């Protein structure tokens, strides 16, 4: 195989996000459900000889050593492959949005290069590499919607009913570290169970990061108000700044100046599920 084209990297939504404690090393203990949606970046891969790894930004400019390049280099180093690659990335998922775009790009890169370079590494091996790149990367490698706990490393597959959502992304992004280090962050939400969640999958819980995000980025409040004015029960995803709400199939999205608004559907599985054994 000489090349792979149009490899998708889907975004995710956190249906809820609870902070249930903090470890002595400073890491926060979480409970969340990660749900894949059909908002995707697209990556193009071309095999190169000589071991060179390069990246071309087809839409949004990215940092030189972003997660895509770091994922490729980590896989190359661990596997010892002599192959290289040229990667074209067409970004669609916005950055600092709570949608996991960078982590998803890294996961799709690992899965695609495992094929392109003929490495035949297992899913468990790729997830070990992914965990060194970012806490969300193993989720995107796993291929399924999941109940997530611990510091994000504990995942249990779950099944979700098909649904439509509106995602509203303010022009401003939010840095995750600013929220997790904020003194006003609530860190003692009561632990829940999958059965608690299953009783009301699309209404359960809340996002403990949202109040701090609203302090740091007033546009998050504006996005929530836009949804509320349309009768939608919205909340922030991840560390923001995007908010989302479940909608009917015939919902008319409309627009809001300075915001990226998109209608999405959830995915039953990652498009690349099964690409690693």
Query: What are the catalytic residues?
Result: 12, 136
**Residues forming a β-bridge with 245:** 166
* Token pair for 135: 């806490």
| Cβ atoms of 55 and 70 closer than 8 Å | no
Helix (H) or strand (E) holding 165: strand 164-169
Cα atoms in the 13 Å half-sphere on the side-chain side of 247: 22
Name the residue among 217, 264, 220 with its Cα closest to residue 245.
264
Alpha-carbon dihedral angle through residues 172, 256, 267, 270, given to the nearest 10 degrees: -30
Structure tokens at 265: 């559907």
Cis peptide bond upstream of 241, omega within 30: yes
Asked if residues 179 and 213 have their Cβ atoms less than 8 Å apart, the reply is yes
- Alpha-carbon gap, residue 85 to 26, rounded angstroms: 37
Helical packing angle, 123-133 and 101-116, nearest 10°:
140
CA-CA distance, 96 to 103, in Å (whole number)?
A: 11
* CA-angle at 34, arms to 28 and 39, nearest 5°: 125
């Amino acid at each position: 195989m000489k090349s792979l084209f149009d490899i998708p990297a889907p975004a995710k939504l956190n249906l809820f996000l609870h902070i249930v404690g903090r470890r002595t090393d400073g890491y926060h203990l979480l409970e969340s459900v990660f749900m894949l949606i059909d908002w995707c970046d697209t990556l193009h891969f071309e095999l190169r000889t000589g071991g060179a790894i390069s990246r071309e930004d087809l839409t949004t400019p990215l940092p030189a050593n972003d997660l895509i390049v770091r994922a490729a280099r980590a896989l190359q180093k661990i596997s010892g492959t002599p192959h290289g690659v040229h990667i074209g990335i067409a970004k669609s998922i916005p950055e600092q949005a709570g949608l996991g775009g960078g982590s998803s790009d890294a996961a799709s890169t690992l899965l695609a290069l495992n094929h392109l370079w003929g490495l035949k590494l297992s899913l468990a091996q790729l997830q070990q590499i992914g965990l060194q790149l970012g806490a969300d990367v193993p989720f995107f490698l796993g291929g399924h919607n999941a109940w997530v706990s611990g510091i994000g490393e504990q995942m249990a597959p779950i099944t979700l009913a098909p649904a439509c959502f509106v995602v509203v992304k303010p022009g401003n992004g939010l840095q995750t570290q600013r929220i997790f280090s904020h003194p006003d962050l609530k860190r003692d939400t009561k632990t829940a169970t999958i059965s608690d969640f299953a009783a009301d999958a699309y209404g359960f819980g809340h996002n403990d990061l949202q109040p701090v995000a609203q302090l740091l980025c007033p546009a998050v409040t504006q996005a929530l108000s836009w949804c509320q004015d349309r009768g939608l029960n919205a909340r922030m995803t991840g560390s923001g700044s995007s908010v989302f709400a479940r909608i009917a199939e015939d919902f008319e999205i409309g627009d809001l100046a300075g915001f990226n608004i998109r209608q999405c559907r959830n995915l039953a599985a990652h498009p690349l599920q099964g690409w690693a054994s």
